Each structure stands twice: as C-alpha cells, then as structure tokens.
Amino acid sequence: MAIPIYFVALLVLPFAAALASTVPFKGCQQKVKESVHGPPRGWYKHAPAPKHHLLELKIALSQPKFPELEQHLWEISDPSHARYGAYLSKQETQALMAPHPETLDVVSEWLALHGLAEEELVRSSALDWVTIRVPVGLAEEMLDTTYHVYKHAETGESIIRTTSYSLPEILHDHVDLIQPTTMFARFKAFRSTLHWTDQAQPAAPCPPGTMITGPAGNPVDASCNSTITLSCLRQIYNAENYQTTAANGNKLGLTGYLNESVNNEDLQQFYQAQNPSAYCSNYTLVSIHGGVNNQSHPGPEANLDSQFGFGLVWPTPGTFYTTGGEPPYIPDLVYPDDQNEPYTYWLDYLLSQDDIPQTISTSYGDDEQTVPYNYAIRVCAGMASLGARGVSLLFSSGDDGVGDGNPDPASQQCKSNDGRNVTTFLPIFPASCPYVTAVGGTVNIPETAVNFSGGGFSNYFPRPAYQDAAVSTYLETLAHGTFGGLYDPTGRAYPDVAAQGLHFSVIYKGKKNLISGTSCSSPTFAAFVSMLNDARINAGKTSLGFLNPFLYSTGYVALNDITKGSNPGCGTLGFNATLGWDPVTGYGTPNFEKLKDLVLAMP
C-alpha cells in the first residue's frame, strides 16, 4: 500500500518546483500498456501470487534521441562513410540514450504517489531505467493488474507474471515497458550436446601427418574433419601464423548467464593440451547483478566459451562477464524476485564503463516470441548503443534450425503465441536484433551447414537496409510460395556469418568432451574478429565496431561461402545454404588472412 503522501514525497524531488502546480494523475484513467494473449506453451497458471512477495520491477523510460543514436551507428560502422570509426564516448552515448527531463519528472511523481521516494529508486547510468523493489500487492495497485504464479509443465519451475498491465494514460509516452510482467522467456545456452569422449569417438582416427585441403586452400590436419581443436580452427580459418599482441589495449569479452561458471582448473588443463604458451595465463572476472563463477560447479557452456575464445586469441586479455538473475521463484519466501531476462543488467553495466572489450561473444538466447515485443526492441536498442561505442557483438544463431528442435511434425511445437496458434518458424532473439552479428554453424571440411544451424527471419525487426540486396537475392532463389506463412520475408534475416559448430574438444570436469552447438560458432567467429581488431589497433586504426555494414558491403568477399546443407525444423526441410548469403550460414566462415588484408586497407 502507498503510505507517504504526495506532498511529502514531492519535497525530496529535485524537480518539485516544476511539478508543484500540476497534478497530472488526478482523475487520470489507467489504460492497458501491454497485454499478451496468454502464457507461451508449457506455462500454466498455478495460483494467485502472494501479496507480500517482493518484485524487482524494471521501468524503461522512453529514449526520444534513439533515432539520432542509430544514425550515428550507421555512419560510424560504414567503411565507405567519412565518419567510419568515429565511435561515440560514454558520455555522448549516454546523452543519446537519456530520457527527456519531463519524463524523469512525470515518472518520479507517479512513483512518489505510490510512496516510492527518490532514494528508493535505482537509476541506470544513462537514467533510462528505474528499478524499484515492491511487494506484489503494491505492484498490482500501480499497474492495475493481478499477478499469478505460473508453472512450467515440463521443468516445474515457477515464476510470477501477469498477462496484462495498465498505466495512467499520461505515462504511456514516457514509459516503454515495465518487467517482470508479461515476460515468459526461457533463456537458454546454445550448447546442444555434451558428449563424453568415451561415448562419442570421432569417426576414424587419421594416420599422423595426414593432411586435407582447407577452405582457404591451405593444408589442414585430417583429424580436424572430425574433432575441432584450437589448432584446427587456426588452420581452417587461415590464421596459423598470426600472433596477437598482449598489451595494445585489445580485449575479448565473453558473457555467462544461468550460473554458468568457467572452471579455472579445466581452463589450465585445456591450455596445457591445446595452447601450452597460454598455460598459467588468466582472464578478468566481472560479476554483474550477483553473477557467480562457482569453482565447484563448472559450466559446460562457460568452459567451452572460455577455452576456445580465450585460447584462440591468447595473449590478448580476456574478460568473462557473469550476470545473475533468473533464480527460480520459491513460493512463500520473501526474497526479492528478479526474474528478468538478464541482458538489461549486463547492458546497463557495460554502457556505464569507460573501457569496453572491442569484441564480445554471447552463446545464449530465447525464442523471439516469448520475449515481449517492447522488451526485445529495448534490449536491441542497448545493443545499438554498444555498437555506437565501437563494440562488435556476436551472438549464436540457435541450435534448432528454423524450429524449436522437436522432430515430431504433429507435435504442439512451432506454434505462434499470438492467439492464432498457427504453425510458424521460430526465430531466436537476440540473434534477430539487426544491431548484432549472428553466427550460424558449419561442419566438416569442405564445410557444409550443420543441420541445427539456427536461421530465418525476425517477426519483430524489419529488414535493415544493409542486408536488403543480399536477402532479396536469396529470396529470389526460392520457388514461389515456399514456406508461405511460416516466416516473414520482410523481417531481419539471420545469421550473418558462420563458423564450425560440431565436436569441439573441451575439458569439462577434468575430462575431454566433445561439445556441439552454435555455442561453438559464436566464440570462434568472435576470436577471429578480435584478431582483426588486434591487427587494426597495431596499425593505428580503430576497432571494427558493429560489423554488419562492413560484412554486407565488402567483408563478405573474404568469407568462405557455404553452399551445401540446410536447417530443417517444424516438419520442413528448412532453408538451403546457397551461393551468396543464406539464412543457414549467412555469408559463411572467415578467411583470416584475406579479411586482415581487407580491414588493414580500410580507413
């Protein structure tokens, strides 16, 4: 219940004078701000939420200057533009992310009306988010809604959500969204399989010294056709002789969520086996929002990412970001419930830093349709803000082809969650965000698309101009009516690029394992981008920043085009890899030496 009164609260507001004469909420109607048709498949309403349970509510204030920020992003990421590489500072970026002062005033006033004084609000560094901790009862009053405990039928996990919430009409233009309300996303790591080596032997052992020809025309160990090591990736992607620099300011960042921890002993054991010169080197750990790096609880995803990401770029310094969030809701406990999808915490932290790694890889994602539209738009805008700072963001494209991994076409999967209940391909977010570079998967030498490689078309984000030509050309190869109604051909198409994704030899709990997934592909591609940044920084040039305008205009010529394979799902054979860009492997895999020549010739 709101306790302090309006006038008392006003006194603590810096903008009290401006507000004293206005009472904007008096008689103001609550109007629905957002509603979803129902919880996604798998969730069911269990019971009313306990009124005393604490919610950590995040309020996104509108960003009127985002179009200006986006315009900067297009210019400074386009190698043919005079401003290429003129990245914005933290202060410049934050100024373009900031809400209008009037928005700050009106929202503070509304919060004060509900008894929340300025000192109880946590604001992001750009002031674009306000976080409050309130009991369910008060949140229900503020949002004119009723929260329930929803349970997941398969996993039994519980969350507190609602399917609709309202705000006073006057706030609608000032607030983009409030969560947790309608968010049912089930965030996952794209590490599809973990094979113990004693169960999954590589096909046939090659006699020592046997070589095959890699995509760049150079000889590659034949064993790389069945098991991927650091050395294999450097051979396949033509970077065998490239040496990175330890101290030129270049860095590689990797993100971890869901308690995924990098095991330090496993990392050293991996270095000893695959990159002995990196043995005893370390990475920087950054914990955000209670993120853990629990040495008693090694994470297969975190081990894979760190071993291959940091191992490939050594001695370039590595940073591992571990972000907390998403604890399961435990009924009857009064613990604050911060079950937000955790990208916003991570973005908030990074954008408040002066120094950010130039290249960052993430191997996690959600089905786009389970992330509320407004939320996806807002998180994607945060990715654009990082791009404006000169950061290259790489994301795995997902491990279920065009679908959700259910092989049974008669199953209830691949269904839309918009009330129409129609069969549809299921794009993955954040890979579907037009301001990131999405990485699909390949297998074997010569490389073909690996059949789980996530790809397709966003239902939220329209196709960005940089990929207009590439995607139109691809769509023309499809027979008329192909997959009609299953995808939106006008949406942002992904992935943008690809890299090997099957049978990476990882150390997990002291043992050799083979791990597969586009989780392998994203840190791999990111490592080669980091090496390109290393070369550019040594040549006195800027980092590459947001990659797609470069990749789609000129960079693609230095990628190995993948023309075989497809990404089946939803009872279909999926899209085909083709000549040129395709929604299975994008423009293909890196040819490092060729890319290096290209980026060193750029301003």
Ligand X SMILES: *[C@@H]1O[C@H](CO)[C@@H](O)[C@H](O)[C@H]1NC(C)=O
296 binds ligand X (CB under 6 A): yes
Q: Based on CB atoms, which residue is closest to ligand X, 145 or 567? A: 567
User: Cα–Cα distance between 330 and 545 in angstroms, integer?
Assistant: 42
48 binds ligand X (CB under 6 A): no
Strands of the 504-508 sheet, one edge to the other: 193-196, 511-516, 504-508
Binding segment for ligand X among 50-58, 326-334, 460-468, 525-533 (CB under 6 A)?
Answer: 326-334
Binding segment for ligand X among 24-32, 325-333, 456-464, 527-535 (CB under 6 A)?
Answer: 325-333
Binding segment for ligand X among 8-16, 189-197, 322-330, 427-435 (CB under 6 A)?
Answer: 322-330
195 binds ligand X (CB under 6 A): no
User: Cα–Cα distance between 171 and 25 in angstroms, integer?
Assistant: 9
In angstroms, the first-to-last Cα distance of the chain is 59
336 binds ligand X (CB under 6 A): no
Catalytic site residue from 108, 124, 519, 543? 519
Name which position in 35, 164, 264, 554 contacts ligand X (CB under 6 A).
264
Name which position in 205, 290, 327, 603 contacts ligand X (CB under 6 A).
327
Q: Which residue pairs from 194-201 have beta carbons closer than 8 angstroms and sit at least 24 positions apart in sequence?
A: 194/300, 194/508, 194/513, 194/515, 195/503, 195/513, 195/514, 195/515, 195/516, 196/511, 196/513, 197/505, 197/511, 197/512, 197/513, 197/514, 200/503, 200/514
Site for ligand X in 210-249 (CB under 6 A): 212, 225
Q: Based on CB atoms, which residue is closest to ligand X, 428 or 445? A: 445
**Could you tell me the two tokens for 68?**
């200006």
| Count of residues touching ligand X (by CB under 6 A) | 24
Active site residue 399: no
Name which position in 482, 485, 511, 597 contacts ligand X (CB under 6 A).
482
- Could you give the C-alpha distances from 287 to 75, 190, 299, 541, in angstroms and in order? 33, 21, 15, 31
Q: Based on CB atoms, which residue is closest to ligand X, 194 or 478? A: 478
Nearest approach in angstroms of CB 417 to ligand X is 9
Nearest approach in angstroms of CB 492 to ligand X is 19
364 binds ligand X (CB under 6 A): no
Name which position in 85, 568, 571, 580 contacts ligand X (CB under 6 A).
568
**Could you tell me the two tokens for 273?**
């086996």
Q: Is it true that the peptide bond before 495 is cis, omega within 30 degrees of 0?
A: yes
What sections of 118-209 are H helices per DSSP?
136-143
Binding segment for ligand X among 26-34, 58-66, 321-329, 554-562 (CB under 6 A)?
Answer: 321-329
Active site residue 109: no
Q: Based on CB atoms, which residue is closest to ligand X, 407 or 462? A: 407
Name which position in 282, 352, 353, 472 contacts ligand X (CB under 6 A).
282
Contact call for residues 45 and 39 (beta carbons, < 8 A): yes
Site for ligand X in 519-558 (CB under 6 A): none
Binding segment for ligand X among 257-265, 370-378, 454-462, 556-564 (CB under 6 A)?
Answer: 257-265
Catalytic site residue from 34, 105, 305, 400? 305
CB-CB neighbours of 598 under 10 Å: 17
**Could you tell me the two tokens for 103?**
């928005």
Binding segment for ligand X among 120-128, 132-140, 320-328, 529-537 (CB under 6 A)?
Answer: 320-328
Site for ligand X in 416-455 (CB under 6 A): 421, 444-445, 451
Residue in 364, 373, 356, 1 with CA at minimum distance from that of residue 182: 373
Nearest approach in angstroms of CB 205 to ligand X is 13
Burial class (CB in 10 A: 0-12, 13-18, 19+), 123: middle
User: Cα–Cα distance between 219 and 242 in angstroms, integer?
Assistant: 16
285 binds ligand X (CB under 6 A): yes
Residue in 383, 421, 427 with CA at minimum distance from that of residue 402: 427
Task: Give how far the C-alpha of residue 519 lies from the chain's centroid of Cα atoms, to the nearest Å.
Answer: 12
Name, in order, each residue with C-beta under 8 angstroms of 99's C-beta and a sequence gap of 6 or more: 61, 62, 63, 64, 127, 128, 174
Q: What is the dihedral of CA 116, 119, 124, 126, to 10 degrees?
A: 100
Binding segment for ligand X among 1-9, 289-297, 335-343, 513-521 (CB under 6 A)?
Answer: 289-297
Nearest approach in angstroms of CB 522 to ligand X is 20
User: Cα–Cα distance between 235 and 156 in angstroms, integer?
Assistant: 45
Name, in order, each residue with C-beta under 8 angstroms of 98's C-beta and a sequence gap of 6 or more: 63, 65, 126, 127, 128
**Could you tell me the two tokens for 216?**
């760049």
258 binds ligand X (CB under 6 A): yes
User: Cα–Cα distance between 336 and 74 in angstroms, integer?
Assistant: 40
292 binds ligand X (CB under 6 A): yes
Catalytic site residue from 128, 221, 260, 301? 301
Contact call for residues 371 and 185 (beta carbons, < 8 A): yes
In the shown chain, the binding pattern of residues 370 to 409 toward ligand X, with x for contact by CB under 6 A and - for none, equals -------------------------------------x--
Nearest approach in angstroms of CB 121 to ligand X is 27
Active site residue 476: no
Beta strand pairing call for 188-189 and 364-367: antiparallel
193 binds ligand X (CB under 6 A): no
Nearest approach in angstroms of CB 475 to ligand X is 10
Contact residues for ligand X (CB under 6 A)? 212, 225, 258-259, 264, 282, 285, 292, 294, 296-297, 326-328, 407, 421, 444-445, 451, 478, 482, 568, 575-576
Catalytic center residues: 301, 305, 519
